[in-house]
Amino acid sequence: MRPLSSKNAIVTGSTSGIGLAIARAFAAEGANITLNGLGDADAIELERAGIERDFGVKCRYSAANMMNGQEVAALVREAEKTFGTLDILVNNAGIQYVAPIEEFPEDKWDAIIRINLTAPFHAIKAALPGMKSRNWGRIINIASVHALVASPFKSAYISAKHGLAGLTKTAALEGAAHGVTVNAIAPGYVWTSLVEKQIPDTMKARNMTEQEVKRDVLLAAQPTKGFVTVEEIAALAVFLCSDAAKQMTGAVLPVDGGSTAE
């Protein structure tokens, strides 16, 4: 028996990066998985089938768009219908946009708040009744060090992630007497496409070269001078699902090479 072999998990935004690593780590522990996210249909099918083949679990894919609250709620309902229960919910889907507040496009603000903050609210709202009724649940919100501290030019993302920390604590209090833990992981810079894609905008906003952005903006903020890996984030998510973590709830846990210690 693998530790999560009786559990069913949703990981939003799991077609790449941190979400995909968490989905694969849960599957390695025996959980059935609902993948979600954007991307090329053939590439997603390869990942889905790969998870079933590599780990001997069931893995399905939902194209629910995190911009749409009804689709988020349906994602939870359909996972419950397919697997019988939803035991683990990871709110991971996220987008970023970098610009000074005076130039920040309103549609980007709205999209970031919807995907990074409102979608987790809808997913938690839909998932809590089933988890409470079975007296067991694990909700993990992938926040950011930007849930704890700010930096310029990321107003929407930082507002959403601070909000997600507040949602985490509130949901933790509401789930506490029902065996449901709710925690947030707050990564520093993890080398994924989300980080790679913000380099050109940061170069423009700060008038820097690519090398300067990597050295003076990204790794300058991490005393270890290393990027966090997706596997390190996934390992913490697996731990939060274990019995050893049942008294951990309402925490916002940095994995950031020491950046928020400064």
Under DSSP, the state recorded for 10 is E
DSSP structural state of residue 147: G
Q: Which residues bind ligand NAD (CB under 6 A)?
A: 13-19, 36-39, 65-67, 92-95, 115, 142, 144, 187, 189-190, 192-195
Place of tokens 């697997």: 83
Parallel/antiparallel/unpaired status of strands 32-36 and 59-62? parallel
Taking the complex as a whole, how short is the minimal distance between the CB of residue 167 and ligand NAD, in angstroms? Answer: 13
Short-list 111, 137, 134, 113, CA closest to 124 = 137
Considering beta carbons, is residue 66 or 79 the nearer one to ligand NAD? 66
DSSP E strand boundaries for the chain: 8-11, 32-36, 59-62, 88-91, 137-142, 180-187, 252-255
Nearest to 74 by CA among 86, 58, 57: 86
Greatest extent of the chain over all pairs of C-alpha atoms, in Å: 55
How near is the Cβ of 261 to ligand NAD at its closest, in Å? 16
| Catalytic hit among 61, 97, 157, 189 | 157
- Between 20 and 57, CB nearer to ligand NAD: 20
> At its nearest, how many Å lie between ligand NAD and the CB of residue 190?
4
61 is catalytic: no
Cβ neighbour number for residue 109 with a 10 Å cutoff: 18
| The two structure tokens encoding residue 79 | 């996972």
Q: Which is nearer to ligand NAD, 37 or 130 (CB)?
A: 37
In the complex, minimum distance from the CB of residue 19 to ligand NAD, in angstroms, rounded to a whole number: 5
- Residue 199 contacts residue 210 (beta carbons within 8 Å): yes
CB of 36 to ligand NAD, least distance (A): 6
CA distance 238 to 25: 7
Catalytic residues: 157
